[in-house]
Structure 1
Amino acid sequence: MSAAKTFELVDTTLRDGEQQAGLVFSMREKLTLAKALDRAGIRCIEAGIPAMGSFEQQTMRELIKLRLNARLIAWNRANRSDILASVACGFSWIHISLPVSDLQIRDKLAKNREWVLRALSQTIAFARAQGCRVTVGAEDASRADLGFFLKFAEVAAQSGAERIRFADTVGCLEPFSAYEKLKQAGERCPLPIEFHGHNDFGLALANTLAAKEAGIPYASCTISGIGERAGNACLQDVAAMLNRNDPGCCAVDTAELARAEAIIPPPRNDLSGLKIS
């Protein structure tokens, strides 16, 4: 498989980016960021996690009222209550995420592979019954058995999902292994793959570019690479490299992204006054 002719960047600043220690967006900041990303040409924005509580849900409703050109997606665990919270906010696109590595299935969920596949199928069916379109996330895919990742993708496709996220959750890939793993996965996967790289070893940008060379058509990033632990692939850097090396494959305005970067507040050292609903 040759390099992807088009490479769509999915922004997850408002969801994964906000998981950076000490970083909390106000509603106004989230709305302003979403509008800036929309102006920059980002066509898919992971808006947040409605199951987090009433403040997040209120913010999600206000984001939907903006009627952006960008598609807004709500992130969900594989359970009905998460999905119902997203539907109540007005989302028509739902992302459902589950671990696929044996390590996380055992230690995070205390379940087994069969349970994961069953939960995946049931929650996709439930989301679609609410009138939603669905993407799925394969957490810790970089440490998972490829055969099980592909089985997970097969069940997702059969259940009606439209895209699958291959997550390098702990940032353990390097560009050579990223290319090989994603090339093999892409050639056999029944769904389009979105690569999601974390930056624990400083390789999220390189791994994201390797994903494109392996033929993967989507990648998720955050403004300035913010996110939990060492963060994610930096949206501005990925877009700049694509515009430099393969003009036309990614229609994103880097000048607008620079303006979006200025909206990000500095992390707070003291969060004791925050109310979590």
Structure 2
Amino acid sequence: MSAPGFSFFSTSPASSMRWDNLKMNLSPSIQHHVRNVYTNLAVMLAISSLGAYLNMSGIIRGGTWSLVGCMGTLIAFSLTPPNPSNENWRKYLLYGFALSKGLSLGPLLSFSLYVNPGTVFTALLGTCLIFACFSLSVLTAPSRNVLYTRGLLSTAAMLLAGLGLLNIFVGSKAIFNVELYLGLMVFAGYVVYDTQLMIAKAELGSRDYLRHSMELYVDLVAIFVRVLLILNKRAEEKDKRKRNEKRR
């Protein structure tokens, strides 16, 4: 993603998917690049799902080392120049990042499944809907001219980082709620921005589908985590109200 990395940091053109039906104002070569990006994004999500399963089943335990793995592979990927000779190595780094991220998400998913299993499925569905709607809004737009939102999004991302740092010492539920909902809006905005940036770069000749899929992956995972936390919070509040009513 073109935003900060911390929680923010061959297909044929004649594919079975009829992109023309979406009325995208994109050339065939750009459509081919978009397919490559989303195909690789799907692979990354599948690898992350495997990592989460390995953690939840106890085969491989995520933790500090998986977080270090996330940062290490992401930094190594960012520092490796995109050229044909490095493509396989960059793929390994990117997929290692996705696997480490899945392992890191394992404890959150395990807790959610234990407390309220329905929240995980609802969060997945909600995340897919948010991502699909915001992505399609860009891909099918007659023009893509909101790249100026980068300054606004960067400012909001810095505000989130500041709130997170402040809340380490304050421990305020109100600040935590602001972080959740503001973060959800910020990363939804980044989906729009990064999708537009992907197309703009591709039109200028940059066809680095690995980097573009990584940027969208970070956005998507950030949205999923926040949606899941919001649903867990609401489920916990609902259970608390029910317990209080029973005591009365």
Q: TM-score range by the shorter chain?
A: under 0.3
TM-score by length of 2: 0.23
More strand by share: 1
